[in-house]
């Protein structure tokens, strides 16, 4: 195992009864990389991500995150990753400060460290004026930036972002991606799922999941060349035109072949 591979996945599979939600996916993510994890709704990306962050047991395959095995060391993984979920998930009835203190606390940071980190985070986001206001009163864009900062409070090696920019305006999205870049530059690996194809362009590499399988994985530039299209949106459309899981499995495979000509 090379040291700079922070996520290694091989043949990872998740079955729910007869239904294969994630079908033998294989990929690596390198340290400090921004890895885009794309796919239509129901393609299996959330399920795959849940296996990587240790809240869902894989059915088969191998995976290690931050050097720990997802089967045997899920608890160690949890200490080394940050996670921001699709839903905005801070406590609305706690203040900005109380939220950051609480999450620092559950990651076992020392009192002093929690205070340092939460002060730094509030300053960095320019939230000094509202630090003692309830989070529920903040606009969604601020909440999401705060949520991201809070997921980084324990300096994780990898941060998993599940559709972090849903529902926010373009300016906030831009600012959010600046935060992501900054985080990656400091050496934290960013694993991000998104629906916005312009955001896919910002990633170092992207994978696209269709019907539980990874159908494409490369840099945005290479993918566009491979599919002979001008932007990621068209790459995605070509791959995932009818990604309904109800689709017979054979059809998806056929389509893949035609694309790879």
Partner 1 sequence: MKRFIGFIKKEFYHIFRDKRSLFILFGMPIAQILLFGFAITNEINNVDIAILDHSKDATTQEIIHKIGASKYFSIKQIVIREADIASVFEKGHVKAVLNFEKNFGKNLIKDHKATIQIITDATDPNTANTISNYVNAMLMKYQKELNKDITIAYQIIPETRMVYNPELKSVYMFVPGVMTIILMLVSAMMTSISITREKELGTMEILLVSPLKPFQVIIGKVFPYIFLSIINAVVIVMLSIFIFKMPVHGSLFLLALETVLFIISALALGILISTISETQQSAMMISLMGLMLPVILLSGFIFPISSMPFPLQVISNIIPAKWFIIIIKGIMLKGVGIQFIWKETLILLGMTVFCIALSVKKYKIRLE
Which chain residues interact with partner 1 by CB under 8 A?
53-57, 75, 78-79, 81, 83, 85-94, 98, 101-103, 105-108, 111, 134
Between 189 and 227, CB nearer to partner 1 = 189
Between 90 and 200, CB nearer to partner 1 = 90
Between 66 and 217, CB nearer to partner 1 = 66
Closest approach of partner 1 to the CB of residue 46, in Å: 10
- Strands of the sheet containing 68-69, edge to edge, are 19-30, 5-16, 60-65, 68-69
Between 55 and 237, CB nearer to partner 1 = 55
Between 92 and 198, CB nearer to partner 1 = 92
Residue 160 in tokens? 């998993």
Closest approach of partner 1 to the CB of residue 107, in Å: 6
The number of helices, as runs of H, and strands, as runs of E, in the chain is: 10, 10
Which element (helix H / strand E) includes 213? strand 213-218
R_g of the chain computed on alpha carbons: 19
Between 101 and 197, CB nearer to partner 1 = 101
Closest approach of partner 1 to the CB of residue 94, in Å: 6
What is the number of other CB atoms lying within 10 angstroms of the CB of residue 60?
A: 11
20: Cβ contacts below 8 Å, ≥ 6 apart: 13, 14, 212
Closest approach of partner 1 to the CB of residue 251, in Å: 30
CA–CA separation, 49 vs 43, rounded Å?
12
85-120 in b/e form (b: 16+ CB < 10 A) is beebebeeeebbbbbbbbbbeebebeeeebeebbee
């Amino acid at each position: 195992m090379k040291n700079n591979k922070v996520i290694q996945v091989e043949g990872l599979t998740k079955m729910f009864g007869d239904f294969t939600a994630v079908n033998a996916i294989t990929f690596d993510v390198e340290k400090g990389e921004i890895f885009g994890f794309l796919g239509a709704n129901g393609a299996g990306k959330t399920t795959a991500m849940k296996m990587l962050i240790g809240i869902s047991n894989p059915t088969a395959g191998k995976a290690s995150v931050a050097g720990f095995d997802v089967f045997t060391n899920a608890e160690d993984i949890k200490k080394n990753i940050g996670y921001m979920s699709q839903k905005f998930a801070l406590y609305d009835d706690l203040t900005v400060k109380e939220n950051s203190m609480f999450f620092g606390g559950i990651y076992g940071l020392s009192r002093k460290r929690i205070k340092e980190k939460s002060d730094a985070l509030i300053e960095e986001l320019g939230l000094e004026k509202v630090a003692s206001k309830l989070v529920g009163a903040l606009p969604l864009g601020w909440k999401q930036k705060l949520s991201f900062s809070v997921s980084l409070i324990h300096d994780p090696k990898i941060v998993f972002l599940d559709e972090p920019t849903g529902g926010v305006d373009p300016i906030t999205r831009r600012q959010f991606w600046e935060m992501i870049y900054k985080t990656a530059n400091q050496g934290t690996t960013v694993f991000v799922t998104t629906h916005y194809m312009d955001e896919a362009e910002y990633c170092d590499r992207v994978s696209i999941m269709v019907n539980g399988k990874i159908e494409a994985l490369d840099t945005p530039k290479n993918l566009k060349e491979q599919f002979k299209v001008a932007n990621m949106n068209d790459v995605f459309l070509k791959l995932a035109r009818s990604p309904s899981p109800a689709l017979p499995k054979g059809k998806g495979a056929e389509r893949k072949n035609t694309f790879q000509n």
